[in-house]
A and B are shown apart, each in its own frame.
Chain A
Amino acid sequence: MSGSAPAAPPREPQAPPEVPARREKTGIEREAERLTPVEFDRGKAPYRRVLPGVLLAPADTVVAMARKSSLWPLTFGLACCAIEMIATYMSHHDLDRFGIMPWPSPRQADVMIVAGTVTKKMAPSVKLLYEQMPNPKWVIAMGACAINGGPYTRYDRVLQGVDKIIPVDVYVPGCPPRPEALLDGFLALQRKIMAERSAVG
């Protein structure tokens, strides 16, 4: 459950019988092979206008590396998990090592950490916040409540998982997850960003 969402392409198993015969490919080459034509009208990111199409593959890699190294989460805690989320920002665990620093406004955020129970009263706000974030954006569902309702799942005012209203990229299990688990979730998200580098506009 802690891995990426089902939408992520498989990373490691890559047709094992043929690979050993040839030179081991580097990650960039593998990605370049898998590169599909990118729709140019998707997204209005300036780099697409600046850099010509020939440079797209390396540019995508560079941009993806930049994105994964500078994930700014929205300052946004819902319930108990928020305490562990704050603890992860603090000195013992220090998310800033990974370039992750919280921003209060959704407009400047890349990641939304849904840390806690989403009630049906709160759900429209969560959805609105997600929609206010600029692309590309990711969601980490932190804790059992955000994943499926957790211990409160049987109460009818509680949303049974935040993935009913917004798409979730990484699920971090636990009640609440330890800070190390959240760090692992971020690392999983970084892997996912690198794996999907050609697909994200």
Chain B
Amino acid sequence: MAVEHDLETMEIPVNMGPQHPSTHGVFRMVLKVDGERVVELVPHIGYLHRGAEKLCENMDYRQGIGIHDRTEYLAPFHAELALVIAVEKLMGLEVPERAEQIRIIMAELNRITSHMMFVGAFSADAGVFGTAFTYAFREREYIQDIFEEVTGDRTMYGYFRPGGLAWDVPDDFVERVRAVLEHTRQGIDDIDNLLTKNEVFMARTRGIGAMSAEEAIDWGLSGPMLRACGVRHDLRKAQPYCIYDRFDFDVPVGQYGDVYDRYLVRLEEMRQSVRIVEQALEGLRDGPIMPKKMRRRLRTPPGEIYQGVEAPRGEYGVYIVSDGTDKPYRMKIRSACFANLMGLRDMVVGHFVADAVVILGSIDMVLGEVDR
């Protein structure tokens, strides 16, 4: 193409966000595009930085649960879980069996709702006019009804406590969850039928945003993003917390690390979550939900701990430095999307603008957790 040298082309910067339908909140990225192709990407975060860590350092541990809920607002149970496990380990508390089972039921149901949100938003990014979104939200609403019956709120639960649970579940809890699980299984199949084999969806997602396992580890990705690259790492298996070591479930792993694999991994994780919940329902026995003697003020002995849990988006970790009072001296939140977003530039550069949107959607970020 000899003519190419004579033509004057210009790379134009395109600013996406902070308000853009596909940025899932207030993420901003500045793309430099050559025609439709992205040649450079600079992500900007911090538009939702609201000081969760600082506020936690000025609250006692139980108050901090609320802040953690709002930090990871699509998977609040996992955020609570990380905090309460860290405090329990600092204090050396023993959690009753029933509380552990209920925690796992709640956390896994929450994983389903979170992935449902991913499927809906991701399909909207890929261009489905809301249909998969409403299908996914139907399942979410059924599960959220259970959450509401148990905890009293639709989204911000505040249900786990250091040592156990705030209160016991309703009497018909097991039957309710079983009934909803039937529906959820059907709903996952519905979404599977709607999207997975759709030619346009496959054309848009396969081979897009691929990342090798080495790169993924180097950037510190975790969760489904990492597993889609072929690394079989799941904290529930590698370093079991709660009583995950007693459950029988598989860790789905992708092969190529592209957007389609991330979608498939999350779809399969939902099915595995259903399995875990069923097993936990089998094992649910009557019993106490809190240790016998709990102090009114939770004073942790001096020390420090890092506790991570396998949240739907990756490892949600809490690093607590305790100075012996009822407030953490330092509370660091290790958020999954924060690390997952770091690799965004490597994934996007070279693709089209439309792919950038899909790749961003595949990260399934929660800005509250990224910016804290």
Q: Consider the complex of A and B and state whether they touch directly, i.e. have CB atoms less than 8 Å apart.
A: yes
Residues of chain A whose beta carbon lies under 8 Å from any beta carbon of chain B: 74-80, 82-84, 86-87, 90-92, 104, 106, 116-117, 119, 121-122, 125, 129, 145, 151-152, 154-158, 175-176, 178
Query: A106–B19 Cα gap in the complex (Å)?
Result: 10
Residue B156 interfacial (CB < 8 Å): yes
Partner of B367, one of A79, A104, A154: A79
Residue B170 interfacial (CB < 8 Å): no
Query: What residues of A have a CB within 8 angstroms of the CB of B82 in the complex?
Result: none
* Inter-chain contact B18/A86, CB cutoff 8 Å: no
Query: A168–B140 Cα gap in the complex (Å)?
Result: 31
Contact mask for chain B residues 139-161; partner A; CB cutoff 8 A; 1 contact, 0 none: 01100000000000011100000
Query: A155–B67 Cα gap in the complex (Å)?
Result: 12
Query: What residues of A have a CB within 8 angstroms of the CB of B50 in the complex?
Result: 79, 117, 119, 145, 152, 155, 157-158
* Inter-chain contact B55/A90, CB cutoff 8 Å: no
* Inter-chain contact A82/B18, CB cutoff 8 Å: no
Closest to A115 in B: B25
Instruction: Indicate whether A158 sits within 8 Å of B141 (C-beta atoms), given known contacts A83-B73, A122-B26.
Output: no
Partner of A178, one of B18, B47, B154: B154
* Inter-chain contact A79/B154, CB cutoff 8 Å: no
Instruction: Indicate whether A90 sits within 8 Å of B117 (C-beta atoms), given known contacts A104-B21, A129-B19.
Output: no
Known: A83-B117, A116-B48, A157-B51. 14 other contacts (CB 8 A): A77-B24, A77-B25, A79-B48, A79-B368, A87-B154, A90-B138, A92-B138, A122-B18, A122-B47, A122-B48, A125-B26, A152-B50, A152-B52, A155-B50
Within 8 A of A (CB), among B349-372: 367-368
Query: What residues of A have a CB within 8 angstroms of the CB of B219 in the complex?
Result: none
Query: What residues of A have a CB within 8 angstroms of the CB of B367 in the complex?
Result: 79
Query: A129–B46 Cα gap in the complex (Å)?
Result: 18
* Inter-chain contact A79/B138, CB cutoff 8 Å: no
Within 8 A of A (CB), among B128-143: 133-134, 137-138, 140-141
Query: What residues of A have a CB within 8 angstroms of the CB of B134 in the complex?
Result: 90-91
Query: What residues of B have a CB within 8 angstroms of the CB of A155 in the complex?
Result: 50-51, 54-55
Query: What residues of A have a CB within 8 angstroms of the CB of B133 in the complex?
Result: 86, 90
* Inter-chain contact A80/B155, CB cutoff 8 Å: yes
Residues of chain B whose beta carbon lies under 8 Å from any beta carbon of chain A: 18-21, 24-26, 46-52, 54-55, 58, 66-67, 70, 73-74, 117, 133-134, 137-138, 140-141, 154-156, 367-368
For the complex of A and B, the 8 pairs showing the least CB-CB separation, nearest first, are A155-B51, A80-B73, A90-B137, A152-B50, A122-B47, A104-B21, A91-B134, A92-B141
* Inter-chain contact A79/B55, CB cutoff 8 Å: no
Query: A176–B73 Cα gap in the complex (Å)?
Result: 10
Query: A156–B134 Cα gap in the complex (Å)?
Result: 38
* Inter-chain contact B73/A79, CB cutoff 8 Å: yes
Closest to A116 in B: B48
Closest to B25 in A: A77
* Inter-chain contact B138/A152, CB cutoff 8 Å: no
Query: What residues of A have a CB within 8 angstroms of the CB of B48 in the complex?
Result: 78-79, 116-117, 119, 122
Closest to A75 in B: B21
Query: What residues of B have a CB within 8 angstroms of the CB of A79 in the complex?
Result: 25-26, 48, 50, 70, 73, 367-368
Query: What residues of A have a CB within 8 angstroms of the CB of B154 in the complex?
Result: 84, 87, 176, 178
* Inter-chain contact B137/A92, CB cutoff 8 Å: yes
* Inter-chain contact B18/A125, CB cutoff 8 Å: yes
Nearest-Cβ distance from residue B259 to partner chain A, whole angstroms: 22
Query: What residues of A have a CB within 8 angstroms of the CB of B137 in the complex?
Result: 86-87, 90-92
* Inter-chain contact B141/A90, CB cutoff 8 Å: yes
Query: A117–B368 Cα gap in the complex (Å)?
Result: 10
* Inter-chain contact B155/A151, CB cutoff 8 Å: no
* Inter-chain contact A78/B55, CB cutoff 8 Å: no
Query: What residues of A have a CB within 8 angstroms of the CB of B74 in the complex?
Result: 83
Query: A4–B141 Cα gap in the complex (Å)?
Result: 29
* Inter-chain contact A121/B73, CB cutoff 8 Å: no
* Inter-chain contact A87/B140, CB cutoff 8 Å: yes
Query: What residues of A have a CB within 8 angstroms of the CB of B67 in the complex?
Result: 151
Query: A41–B368 Cα gap in the complex (Å)?
Result: 45
Query: What residues of B have a CB within 8 angstroms of the CB of A80 in the complex?
Result: 70, 73, 155-156, 368
11 contacts between A and B (CB under 8 A): A76-B19, A79-B70, A82-B25, A84-B155, A87-B154, A91-B138, A122-B26, A125-B18, A152-B55, A154-B55, A175-B156
Closest to A90 in B: B137
Nearest-Cβ distance from residue A108 to partner chain B, whole angstroms: 13
Query: A82–B368 Cα gap in the complex (Å)?
Result: 11
Nearest-Cβ distance from residue A151 to partner chain B, whole angstroms: 6
Query: A158–B74 Cα gap in the complex (Å)?
Result: 21
